[in-house]
Amino acid sequence: MQNKPLILITNDDGIFAPGIFALWEAIHQIGEIFIAAPDTEKSAVGHAITISDPIRVEKINRKNGFSGYAVAGTPADCVKIAVRALMERQPDIVISGINAGANVGASLLYSGTVSAATEGTLLNIPSIAVSLDSLTVKDFNFAGKIAAYIVHQVLEKGLPTGTLLNVNVPAVPESIIKGYKITRQGNSHYQEGFDQREDPRGRTYYWMTGQLVEPTGSSDSDIQALNQNWVSVTPIHYKLTNEEFLPELIEWGLE
């Protein structure tokens, strides 16, 4: 690594969201910053990428020196195009956030925030996703401090290839935070419903509704840690093969 680390910042709430600004404020003195984030909110787009449409990129300036690239694409697109086309060298670290809303349990599959960090790991860059456990709280300052600390730690210690850190911060006053907890992805999932309505022209449409539930919570799960006011840090990778089931599947005699 060069003296000043090169840090790629992205998110899924869009380049004009408060969370990415707070993240930039908290870490911009750690290194050289490059920002590439969606031009509009892209929550819950998962690991979508844009292969059937062209992608446009526009340089934008917010305030206090925050400037970056607004990408007409998904969070994963942002990381790909930044690393492969826009940046002069490979970043030393990718950090995605600060997301408005926790990313735990099954949410990891839907999360654009986590998928952007995942894309970083696919490109062999140590990557971090940071989320604040609230859709309404607007104060990202404490989560920014957490992000800065984790960035320092990852720059110093590195991460195994293909592994990212998924960090979730409780949205409570700093004095109530108990500290860090290393956690596992919990088995929480969405219990969704569909709210059926009629538009003014008499046509039916649906809104997806839903809330995260954890039926069999274990004390070291991400969501339990959050609920007990710990900052949750989960190491995530994408080795998707169910190794335990392989022997039984071979017994099926397909081969």
Q: How far is the CB of 189 from a second copy (least distance, A)?
A: 6
Q: How far is the CB of 10 from a second copy (least distance, A)?
A: 16
* Residue count of the chain: 255
Q: Which of 10, 96, 224, 234 binds a second copy (CB under 8 A)?
A: 234
Stretch that binds a second copy, among 1-9, 30-38, 46-54, 137-145 (CB under 8 A): 46-54
Q: How far apart are CA 60 and CA 66, in angstroms?
A: 9
Q: Which of 5, 25, 180, 217 binds a second copy (CB under 8 A)?
A: 180
Q: Which of 45, 94, 132, 171 binds a second copy (CB under 8 A)?
A: 45
Q: How far apart are CA 120 and CA 93, in angstroms?
A: 8
Q: Which of 108, 116, 130, 151 binds a second copy (CB under 8 A)?
A: 108
Q: How far is the CB of 63 from a second copy (least distance, A)?
A: 26
Residue 173 has φ and ψ, to the nearest 5°, of: -60, 145
Residue 80 has φ and ψ, to the nearest 5°, of: -60, -50
- The answer to whether residues 111 and 99 touch, using CB atoms and an 8 Å cutoff, is yes
Q: Which is nearer to a second copy, 16 or 180 (CB)?
A: 180
Taking residue 168's Cβ as centre, other Cβ atoms within 10 Å add up to 29
CA-CA distances (angstroms) from residue 51 to 73, 92, 211? 10, 26, 31
Q: Which is nearer to a second copy, 6 or 165 (CB)?
A: 165
Which residues from 118-157 bind a second copy, rule CB under 8 A?
A: 118, 122, 153, 157
Q: Which helix (H) or strand (E) holds 207?
A: strand 204-213
Stretch that binds a second copy, among 20-28, 36-44, 60-68, 168-176 (CB under 8 A): 36-44
Taking residue 122's Cβ as centre, other Cβ atoms within 10 Å add up to 17
| 193 makes contact with a second copy (CB under 8 A) | yes
- What separation, in Å, do the N-terminal and C-terminal C-alpha atoms of the chain show? 48
Which residues from 50-79 bind a second copy, rule CB under 8 A?
A: 50-52, 54-57, 76-77
- The answer to whether residues 50 and 73 touch, using CB atoms and an 8 Å cutoff, is yes
Stretch that binds a second copy, among 18-26, 27-35, 125-133, 203-211 (CB under 8 A): 203-211
Q: How far apart are CA 92 and CA 76, in angstroms?
A: 17
Q: Which of 30, 49, 155, 212 binds a second copy (CB under 8 A)?
A: 49
Q: Which is nearer to a second copy, 63 or 157 (CB)?
A: 157
Stretch that binds a second copy, among 18-26, 91-99, 129-137, 200-208 (CB under 8 A): 200-208
Q: How far apart are CA 243 and CA 71, in angstroms?
A: 38
